[in-house]
Amino acid sequence: DAGITQSPRYKITETGRQVTLMCHQTWSHSYMFWYRQDLGHGLRLIYYSAAADITDKGEVPDGYVVSRSKTENFPLTLESATRSQTSVYFCASNGGAGNTIYFGEGSWLTVV
Amino acid sequence: RKEVEQDPGPFNVPEGATVAFNCTYSNSASQSFFWYRQDCRKEPKLLMSVYSSGNEDGRFTAQLNRASQYISLLIRDSKLSDSATYLCVVNPGNTGKLIFGQGTTLQVKP
């Protein structure tokens, strides 16, 4: 079934380690997004991409790196994880301006 | 000022009540508007788009007031299953990027 999938769904890692969260969509949507959601802050945009090889910072990009070599994949890397990056991470995609955004099921990340 | 603002609630209402949520946005050039629903520990899902003339989907009615930069969601005859967080979402320009409000939590009680 077509959709947007994230992996891993749950991850515990140690401070200072590199972690990559994967996101894959099967709709060929041009736009892809990474959000984090924390209590009291709602959904905050980390990075987004308008197309393959085009990425841009969102509201809270520090400490994160993204790439988009293929339209369907948009991995998010925490280069050196910190406890403040403990959060739920949602990947999302849409086909362009005015279009509905669809979310993956989320990746629960705990940094200890 | 946040780009999209909502009253976080929580709104605690009895079954059968009518409840309204409001949302304001700061960018007057915003083009598209949506309401999303998010259940606990789940991803947000589209509830309904918001059209300039207002639109209804069963018990749910969405309104847009461009002059006041204001969006509303009305839920009639609340059900226990309506308990969730409702997110106001705005497309501020001519891109696919969407801005989310913090969400309004609704708890419907028997």
Q: In the prediction, which pLDDT does B41 show?
A: 85
Q: What's the confidence (pLDDT) of residue A97?
A: 67
B91 reaches A (C-beta below 8 A): yes
Q: Is the pLDDT of residue A101 over 80?
A: yes
Q: What does the pLDDT average to over A3-32? A: 96
- What is d(CA A67, CA B43) in angstroms, rounded to the nearest whole number? 23
Burial class (CB in 10 A: 0-12, 13-18, 19+), B43: buried
Residue B106, chain A, CB below 8 Å: the answer is no
Determine the Cα–Cα distance for residues B32 and B51; give it in Å rounded to an integer. Answer: 8
Nearest CA distance, B51 vs chain A (angstrom): 11
Q: Do A50 and B94 touch (CB under 8 A)?
A: no
**pLDDT > 80? residue A82:** yes
The number of angstroms, rounded, from the C-alpha of A28 to the middle of its chain's C-alpha atoms is: 17
